[in-house]
Amino acid sequence: MSKQFRFFEQVNRSFDRAAALTKHDPRMLAQIRECNAVYHFTFPVKRDDGSIEVVHGWRAEHSHHKLPTKGGIRYSYMVSEDEVKALAALMTYKCAIVDAPFGGAKGGIKITRHEYSNGELERITRRYTYELKKKNFIGPGVDVPAPDYGTGAQEMAWMADTYQSLSAGELNALACVTGKPIAQGGIRGREQATGRGVYFGIRELCNDAEVMKRLGLEQGIAGKRVVVQGLGNVGFYVSKYMQEAGAVLVGLAEYEGAIGNPDGLDLDSVVKHRKDSGSILNFPGATDLETSSKALELDCDILVPAALENQVTRDNAPDVKAKIIAEAANGPTTAGADEILSEKGALVLPDTYLNAGGVTVSYFEWVKNLSHVRFGRMQKRFEEGAFHRIVGAMESHTGRLLPLEERAELTRGASEEDLVNSGLEETMALAYQTVRTTQNSYDGKANLRAAAFITAINKIALCYEDLGFFP
């Protein structure tokens, strides 16, 4: 059994490899690398049966080079200080790569979600928010949480409501968290954002002729055999968009097990089967795998780990057959596994770039909350009027009237969700090109993960240089 490194150490090992290729002041690199602040606290919660339970919570702010800091809140019994520090660090680099103006942060509560009632979860969430507010670890210009593993729009609504009650008269209070329900200041497209961003990132890679030639694959997503580990929010939407683009889902995995079919699995049918039976196992036409982790070893072109960290390790990396490992989860590939995959000629599309769709759209929601105007509200009708005039001129010139449905589609103004998805697509496409340009400038010395870290380091270093630090 190979040595297992702690999660934060895994992140820093990747950072150190990339930093060694740069020429930045070592003192600056040390500042970028370390976690600036960690708040660990406990509080009592009254259970529905009248008993009292002590709950542990954390919030880590990795970097204050830009404020506010930004990062999710997860509810899991696996939450620890090491985990939130590692995830906060990844958020710092992720935000820098996609030019989201935040430092990285992360938080969590050490509970197993399904063991608590809705009322108990609300009490825990509100008390957690109170503790953050008391120590100035939450606020629109301070630190802005979002959903993560085990949390969603409901928890964000409770957090926003609690923060507002503690900040009477604060105009921008709703911007204290993102990922909220639409009626509470959320933004359309946020639920699908991380999965859609992963899809855009994979699409950019698959359209890169040079990379595809090196991997011995055809350009484009169509026909690619894909395995997705995890059918939560991210995994479901990645699977959906990949399948719609013509990819073949040859394997799916969840905590209860995994299934495979070289001829392909229909996502909607698998989801329906799981809803009806409580499991993805025994799906008609598919083979049940020995364990959930065996899905990582299926023969495929693209493996998408979309669950938790440390899934592809030095122990199972030799058995991974995929030519592309697309990291939809945070830290699913260990540093040791990275080395093995690289030696095998496989390509890892790193999490620091690939799953940045969530924070990108969270950024849009934060901006919406600060501006107090829904995206599209001011220009939608104006755009439609302009399009109608253009189409009218075309019809007048050609003497042919367009069918009403075609005219309606051509003259439709952009909705909030249209603009969000367009902004996300632009962000992921530009970030990929930036990382690839960085990689090419190092003449084969940097893989995509190192190039992503270098891209982030360079942008963060520029902030410190502009402030006159480390002359």
- Reference 66, options 121, 38, 105, 27; nearest CA is 105
Whether 106 is catalytic: yes
Can you tell me the distance from the alpha carbon of 373 to that of 378, in angstroms, rounded to the nearest whole number? 8
Beta 225-229 vs 287-288: how paired, if at all? unpaired
Pairing of β 302-305 and β 52-61: unpaired
Buried b (16+ CB within 10 A) or exposed e, 230-251: bbbbbbbbbbbbbbebebbbbb
Distance CA 1, CA 390 (A): 67
Residues 6+ positions from 286 with CB-CB distance below 8 Å: 259, 260, 261, 265, 270
Q: At 70, is the secondary structure helix, strand, or coil?
A: strand
Rounded-to-integer distance, Cα 94 and Cα 108, Å: 19
Residue 185 backbone dihedrals phi, psi, to 5 degrees = 100, 10
Is 144 in a helix, a strand, or coil?
Answer: strand
Active-site pick, 66, 85, 106, 323: 106
What angle is formed at CA 95 by the lines to CA 359 and CA 448, rounded to 5 degrees?
110
Distance CA 339, CA 336 (A): 5
Cα–Cα distance between 430 and 212 in angstroms, integer?
A: 19
> What is d(CA 324, CA 391) in angstroms, rounded to the nearest whole number?
44
Which residue has tokens 């030519």?
323
Residues with Cβ within 8 Å of 10's Cβ and at least 6 positions away in sequence, in order, are 86, 309, 310, 331, 334, 335
The tokens for 83 are: 């985990």
- Residues paired with residue 70 on neighbouring β-strands, in sequence order: 104, 144
Q: DSSP 3-state assignment of 257?
A: strand
How many Cα atoms sit within 13 Å of 17 on the Cβ side? Answer: 18
Residue 448's H or E segment, with its range, is helix 448-466
CA distance 433 to 90: 20
User: Within a 13 Å sphere around the CA of 187, how many CA atoms are in the beta-carbon half?
Assistant: 39
CA angle 186, 60, 72 (to 5 degrees): 25
Q: Which residues are known to be catalytic?
A: 106
